[in-house]
């Protein structure tokens, strides 16, 4: 009995993606998908797979168990190398839902992506890139170089969705949902972040995940260069947004850890108040929706309390990147909210 109890506990402690699936058979693994993967990652096993016994190939890739008298696929094998993973994992899919008129509007555009994890991920990203992401080019008469930026930098969207696929709980019957709203993209997955990640850490972008929910899934995604792991995802998202001049994102997890949401805000220049997309500008610039409005108020309050406050002090006090601080200050100057008197070193701010 003790041996049985120990076996049950060992099974429960094993990550879901590395568990044996007793409802599936070896025939549910597809050789063509396996060979396509091996060829893509330039594995030496690709040539061997042409004449290797199929079961031996699966064992070499560790996508089946090793008991000769009871051979079954592992969950990770079915997720990547079965034609219909949703037969074994209901709602293993990515739903991309567009709300052109915001959440209260009548128009909704939905598209669902199913199939092997890497295929549905790539197809969803391709769809978002072709139907959602836009580039804005501003040409200047006095210089050859144009200013270019996107409503959403693709690299930030890609990393956010890859992270959702990597960290989703595949024993939870909920899809990954990508919500496209007029001023933001929200990527929601289930369950929430591991308990080792605090809500404060998410707010300040200081996250170190000590436990990985899907190590095997992560290994396959890394081989296909769809993710890096090693807690680099947040930094890649922040860097991509900063290079594009976009507002900083929001990472949120419900207190009960039932869901996780990444919010990427649209570039301020694409907001309706900033004119048309032909390069003309009208009206005043919004610093950014929601969260950035709070940051604008923080910066204005700091300037009112200390007109000689430095950019460095603002960065340290509010834990906001230097580039974001400079962008907000520039926008406040351009729309006439504040002005700068004196030099950059010994000058002072004035609120108009």
Please state the pTM of the whole predicted model.
0.73
Structure confidence at residue 210 (pLDDT) = 59
Contacts of 257 (CB under 8 A, 6+ apart): 191, 192, 193, 194, 195
Peptide bond into 275 cis (omega under 30): no
Q: Which helix (H) or strand (E) holds 159?
A: helix 154-167
**Predicted local distance difference test score (pLDDT) of residue 293:** 59
**pLDDT at site 273:** 64
Q: Are 244 and 149 spatial neighbours (Cβ–Cβ below 8 Å)?
A: yes
One pLDDT digit (tens) per residue for the chain, 352 residues: 455 444 444 445 588 999 999 999 999 999 999 999 999 999 999 999 999 999 999 999 999 998 878 899 999 999 999 999 999 999 999 999 999 888 777 889 999 999 999 999 999 999 999 999 999 888 877 777 778 889 999 999 999 999 999 989 999 999 999 999 999 999 999 987 776 676 666 776 666 665 678 899 999 999 999 887 665 678 899 999 999 999 999 888 877 778 889 999 999 888 876 644 444 333 333 333 444 456 787 888 888 888 888 888 887 777 676 667 777 887 788 778 888 887 766 788 888 7
Tokens of 128: 């978002």
**Residue found under tokens 């950014």:** 288
Q: Tell me the torsion sign for CA atoms 274, 275, 279, 281.
A: negative
Q: How far apart are the first and last CA of the chain?
A: 78
The contacts of residue 182 (CB under 8 Å, 6+ apart) are 99, 100, 101, 102, 266
Collapsing DSSP to helix, strand or coil, 97 comes out as strand
Number of other residues whose CB lies within 10 A of the CB of residue 197 = 20
Give me the half-sphere count of Cα atoms (radius 13 Å) on the Cβ side of residue 263. 18
pLDDT tens-digit readout, 250-276: 888 877 778 889 999 999 888 876 644
Place of tokens 């009112």: 304
Give the span between the Cα atoms of 145 and 42, in whole angstroms.
40
Residues 6+ positions from 296 with CB-CB distance below 8 Å: 287, 288, 328, 332
Nearest to 267 by CA among 252, 286, 280, 250: 286
Which residues lie below 8 Å from residue 2, measured CB to CB, with a gap of 6+? none
Structure tokens, 252? 């949120």
Number of H helices, E strands in the chain: 13, 10
Q: In degrees rounded to 5, what are phi and psi of residue 65?
A: -80, 175
CA geometry: angle 12, 16, 19, nearest 5 deg: 75
- What tens digit of pLDDT does each residue of 297-322 get? 788 888 888 888 888 888 777 767 66
Q: What is the DSSP string of 27-69?
A: GGS-HHHHHHHHHHTT-THHHHTTTS-HHHHHHHTT-B---TT
Beta bridge partners of 96: 111, 178
Pull the structure tokens for residue 114: 């199913």
- Between the alpha carbon of residue 332 and those of residues 29, 184, 228, 299, 342, the distances in Å are 58, 22, 37, 10, 17
The domains found in the chain, sorted by start residue, are 2-74 (no CATH), 94-270 (3.30.565.60), 284-351 (1.10.10.10)
């Amino acid at each position: 009995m003790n041996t049985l109890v120990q076996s049950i506990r060992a099974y429960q402690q094993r990550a879901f993606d590395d568990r044996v699936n007793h409802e599936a058979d070896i025939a549910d693994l597809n050789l063509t998908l396996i060979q396509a993967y091996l060829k893509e990652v330039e594995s030496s096993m690709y040539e061997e797979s042409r004449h290797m016994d199929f079961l031996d190939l699966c064992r070499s890739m560790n996508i089946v168990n090793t008991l000769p008298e009871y051979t079954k696929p592992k969950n990770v094998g079915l997720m990547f190398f079965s034609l219909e993973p949703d037969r074994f994992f209901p709602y293993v899919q990515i739903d991309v839902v567009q709300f052109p008129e915001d959440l209260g509007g009548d128009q909704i555009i939905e598209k669902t992506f199913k199939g092997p994890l890497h295929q549905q991920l790539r197809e969803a990203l391709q769809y978002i890139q072709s139907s959602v992401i836009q580039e804005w080019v501003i040409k200047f008469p006095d210089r050859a170089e144009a200013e270019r930026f996107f409503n959403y930098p693709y690299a930030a969207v890609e990393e956010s969705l890859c992270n959702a696929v990597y960290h989703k709980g595949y024993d939870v019957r909920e899809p990954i949902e990508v919500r496209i709203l007029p001023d933001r993209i929200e990527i929601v997955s289930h369950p929430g972040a591991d308990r080792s990640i605090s809500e404060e850490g998410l707010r300040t972008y200081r996250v170190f995940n000590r436990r990985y929910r899907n190590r095997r899934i992560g290994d396959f995604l890394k081989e296909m260069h769809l993710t890096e792991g090693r807690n680099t995802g947040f930094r890649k998202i922040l860097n991509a947004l900063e290079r594009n001049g976009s507002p900083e994102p929001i990472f949120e997890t419900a207190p009960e850890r039932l869901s996780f949401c990444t919010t990427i805000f649209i570039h301020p220049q694409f907001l309706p108040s900033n004119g048309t997309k032909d390069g003309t500008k009208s009206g005043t610039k919004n610093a950014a929706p929601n969260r950035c409005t709070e940051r604008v108020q923080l910066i204005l309050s700091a300037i009112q309390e200390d007109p000689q406050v430095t950019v460095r002090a603002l960065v340290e006090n509010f834990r906001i990147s230097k580039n974001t601080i400079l962008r907000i200050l520039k926008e406040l100057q351009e729309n006439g909210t504040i002005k700068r008197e004196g030099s950059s070193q010994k000058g002072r701010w004035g609120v108009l």
